[in-house]
Amino acid sequence: MYIKRVQIEEGFLDGLDVEFTSGLNAVIGARGTGKTSLIEIIRFCLDVNSTTSETTRRSKDHALSVLGSGQVTVTLVDGENTILVSRTASDAAPRATAQYRKPVIFSQTEIETVGLEAAGRLRLLDGFVKARPDTDTQERELITECRTLTQQVELCRKEIDDFEQTQKALPALREELKLIIPAEENVSKSSEALQQKTNLLSVQTTTISSVSVMLEQVTRIKNNVANWSHEIKRGIDNAPVNSVEFEHAALVLLKPLLERIEGVKGRLGAELNEAVSIYHELDGVITNFTSNKVILEDQARQLRQEVESLQAGSGSVLRKGQEIREKIAKLESITSYLTSRKTILAQLIGKRSEALDKLDKIREERFSARSAAADWLNKIVAPNIKVSVYRNGQSKGFSAAISEALRGSGLRYADAADGIAANLSPRALLEAVDNFDVGLIEDAASITSDRASRILLHLKSCELGDLCTINIEDETSLQLLDGTDYKDISELSTGQRCTVVLPLILSHMNRMLIVDQPEDHIDNAFIAETLIKVILSRGDQGQIIFSTHNPNIPVLGDADLVLHLGSDGRRGFRLSSGPLENISIVNAISTVMEGGAKAFSQRAKFYGEHIK
């Protein structure tokens, strides 16, 4: 695939209509003629991001300032297929007649700075990784699933904790009941009439306790159905499209799909009505249970009054016993519910573990692909340049996320967050919080057990879905052989950084490659001995478009086409274009890049007289 044609309407390059070949294309011209602007407009049209978010923003701003309210159209050729890509300043994304593979584009600034930022180095390496097209989508889906399951786990665990806290009152209630049973027995032994009354009251107490348990269970179901219906309603409200959004022609084309979406909404609406109906029926059941309980409690009250009339103080004893038995019955009924909730919690944790396994696998495969790409590059650029990649090397983002989660905790968390991020994976931290593993946090952060415990307590109250799915990016190292030692790119001069980055960029095979003024900050010796060799070694393995001021690139690189741009100060335009041997191109190169034929002849004469 290669760029065949670029057409620009309006702006500084208004009316520019240029064609390129599938080989080496050199864009030349004096400064201010629009060479960089042409490259940035191509980048904008094809929606090619820069190596960092900041350089991406600057590149887009440049393109928009040049394009104004105009439009750019790029024609791509892929074998026998032609693809048109068009974009205006107001378009959020390009409009294309078919899918296309984006070119590799580097501006002059990117070549100088890409190696200094971790994100830039990684993006440079990723340009050589053959990733499956569906991997990113799968990763996003798994992240969403993990976050949803984590939220469900936290809610389920909180419910279990609350119920278990409530059940802690059971032993004390049972002890209290043991103390009151003798008093109840004394009441029933006082007379035959009292015994009959207390026996009836005992049966009534059991019935009231049973009704109370059922009332609590039905209320719990009703509340769950209410939450469930809200989720169904949210699904209807979040329907993906509305037919009002489309023009008539689009409506006709999309009618079958829109009808299916409406069908889903209709079925969800019917299910919502069913859920609401269930809710109201449960509410009716609760009303009946409540009414029955009130009647039963009134009957029990009358029996206690009758007992009280026969023996003073007996009514309060029996009322106390009824209250305790009712509380015990309610708490004991929770046990089976707790068992089911714990089963559900285990299932949720299991599902989340499976999703995290899949997420880890995707990221491990990505690292393996990056390692393979680094090995392949090292075969090409060794021994002068060495490329290395380290698993999960960029932990600063994870540390920042931990710090954000601990904000407001009252803890000194900055140093602890760095230690945790450097020594634990997001998943390991999640499991440490789940298991309240104080020792693991203590060792990872090199802190006291008390601080580790307080950190876990705070994290336990946080939403951990985002934290456990954070992707700790791999770290890419670029080094240059300096004498007998390798120097990291951060220790190199601007020129040395360019000698590292340029060969890597040019190692892209079978890709459209566009580079703006690659010769800045590097000497002619490097261009002639290294850069040109790499260019020539590519053969026909992918289009190259260079904007340049250095004549060695088009001449020694045997350019297939040279585009000469000019400017009148208000607008940039094409002066000439054609193969290297074209007389107008020869004149352009000698004038723009060599300082004119006379200057070139004088230099040639000087070299001929003095170089032996």
Report pLDDT for 185: 79
Q: Render pLDDT for 346-382 as a digit per residue (tens, 0 to 9).
A: 999 999 999 999 999 999 999 999 999 999 989 888 8
Average confidence (pLDDT) over 55-67: 90
Q: Which residues contact 89 (CB under 8 A, 6 or more apart)?
A: 64, 67, 68, 69, 70
Report pLDDT for 604: 65
Quote the mean pLDDT of the chain: 87
Q: Render pLDDT for 541-574 as a digit per residue (tens, 0 to 9).
A: 789 999 988 888 888 888 999 999 999 989 999 9
Q: Which residues contact 109 (CB under 8 A, 6 or more apart)?
A: 55, 58
Which is higher by pLDDT, 244 or 611?
611
Alpha-carbon distance 437 to 166, whole Å? 25
Which is higher by pLDDT, 104 or 312?
104
- DSSP assignment letter at 490: G
Report pLDDT for 473: 93
| CA dihedral (492, 493, 496, 502) positive or negative | positive
Tell me which H or E stretch contains 194.
Answer: helix 192-237
**CATH top-level class of 2-116+495-610:** alpha beta
Report pLDDT for 574: 94
Q: Render pLDDT for 320-348 as a digit per residue (tens, 0 to 9).
A: 888 888 888 888 888 888 888 899 999 99
Domain ranges (residues) in the chain: 2-116+495-610, 141-356, 395-468
Report percent pLDDT > 90 for the chain.
41
Report pLDDT for 607: 64
SS3 content of the chain, % helix, strand, coil (to 5): 65, 15, 25
Count Cβ atoms below 10 Å from residue 227 Cβ, excluding itself.
8
Q: Render pLDDT for 217-274 as a digit per residue (tens, 0 to 9).
A: 898 899 889 988 998 998 888 888 765 566 777 777 888 888 888 899 899 999 999 9
Tell me which H or E stretch contains 25.
Answer: strand 24-28
Which is higher by pLDDT, 449 or 530?
449
Residue 133 has pLDDT above 70, yes or no: no
Angle subtended at Cα 517 by Cα 516 and Cα 523, rounded to the nearest 5 degrees: 150
CB burial string 237-246: b at 16+ within 10 A, e below: eeeeeeeeee
Report pLDDT for 351: 95
Residue whose structure tokens are 């006082």:
190
